[in-house]
Amino acid sequence: MTAQIIDGKMISAEVNRENAENVALLKSKNITPGLAVILVGDNPASQVYVRAKVKKCEELEITSFHHVLDKDATMDELLALIERLNKDENVHGILVQSPPPPQIDEQKVIESIVPEKDVDCFHAVNVGKMLLGRTDGFFPCTPYGVMILLEKSGIETAGKHVVVIGRSNIVGKPMTALMLQKNPHANATVTCVHSMTKNLPELVRQADIVVAAIGKPEFVTADMIKEGAVVIDVGINRVPDASSPKGYKLVGDVKYDEVAQKASKITPVPGGVGPMTIAVLMQNTIKSCMMQHNLL
């Protein structure tokens, strides 16, 4: 049997309809949400992601402030820009696209953003709030996007064994934390496996739900998957492809064709988790705007 596809484009469109309603509500009060997107350098994949974020802002009539800094930009330049955006009342969210070039101390940059505008949920204050189950911060875009995908697809997580593959600060760690929350749409038993895990395939095989976020093309193969498991693929990897005009194709962290023969439900790449990340980013920007105007 072939797995049912979890359509991230369709589900993100649903979230973005709610986002559009909230923007309209704010507009009726003469308030426009604003998001500052900062790209340092010319990483081609980052350029694509930043363009997608700016485009979604335009569609939702959220003001975008798009800043591109030279790949040799200094920490001082970047920190000065963030300081200005921190004070700008028209800016409710600030994000610096990751990964920045090596001269940039990413953690220091993140901590220079005021927590109230940290719509990525990368700041220690917001990560702490999230871990405590508080809702007065933000939810991390990709992990929360996965939670929404599961909920809106009618996939229960309570009491299920979820195996998160990867322990990054952006996805693996916050994903593990969200799945653990005492909440009817979480309440999972969670195992987080990574590069130092000894018996990784054996542990993944025990999962009812697998979340792959390791950044290794087609790492998860059918032999690691229990029959009927749900597979969420967070990876977006460029691999060489001579038959494509661009010279590359996008593949996930999951070997889709063979895993789809064993899973009950699976997300495609592209069109799975990717659009959800942006929908949550927009949701966080609107929430930030509402909180800054004491509307939440």
Which positions are catalytic?
A: 53, 97, 120
| Selected binder of ligand GUN within 98, 176, 237, 283 (CB under 6 A) | 98
Six token digits for residue 26: 């704010």
How far is the CA of 165 from the CAs of 103, 192, 233, in angstroms? 29, 6, 10
In 10 A of CB 182, how many CB atoms?
A: 7
From the CB of 95, what's the least distance to ligand GUN, in Å? 4
From the CB of 206, what's the least distance to ligand GUN, in Å? 28
From the CB of 175, what's the least distance to ligand GUN, in Å? 12
Nearer to ligand GUN, 43 or 292 (CB): 43
From the CB of 295, what's the least distance to ligand GUN, in Å? 25
Site for ligand GUN in 152-211 (CB under 6 A): 170
Residue type, 27: K
What distance in Å separates the CA atoms of residue 211 and residue 234, rounded to the nearest whole number? 7
Nearer to ligand GUN, 96 or 150 (CB): 96
Across 250-262, b (16+ Cβ under 10 Å) vs e yields bbbbbbbeebbeb
Binding piece for ligand GUN, criterion CB under 6 A, among 16-24, 57-65, 93-101, 287-295: 93-101
Site for ligand GUN in 257-296 (CB under 6 A): 277
| Selected binder of ligand GUN within 97, 112, 283, 285 (CB under 6 A) | 97
Query: How many chain residues are in contact with ligand GUN, going by CB under 6 A?
Result: 9
Find out whether 27 and 290 touch, Cβ atoms under 8 Å: no
- Runs of H (alpha helix) within 140-262: 141-152, 172-180, 200-204, 256-259
| Selected binder of ligand GUN within 95, 177, 178, 230 (CB under 6 A) | 95
What kind and span of H or E run contains 80? Answer: helix 75-87
Binding mask 116-155 for ligand GUN (x = CB under 6 A): ----x--------------------xx-------------
From the CB of 77, what's the least distance to ligand GUN, in Å? 18
Which stretches of 199-278 are assigned E, i.e. beta strand?
A: 209-212, 230-233, 237-240, 248-251, 265-266
Find out whether 130 and 178 touch, Cβ atoms under 8 Å: yes
Radius of gyration of the chain (CA): 19
Nearer to ligand GUN, 96 or 266 (CB): 96
Nearer to ligand GUN, 131 or 203 (CB): 131
Contact residues: ligand GUN, CB under 6 A: 95-98, 120, 141-142, 170, 277
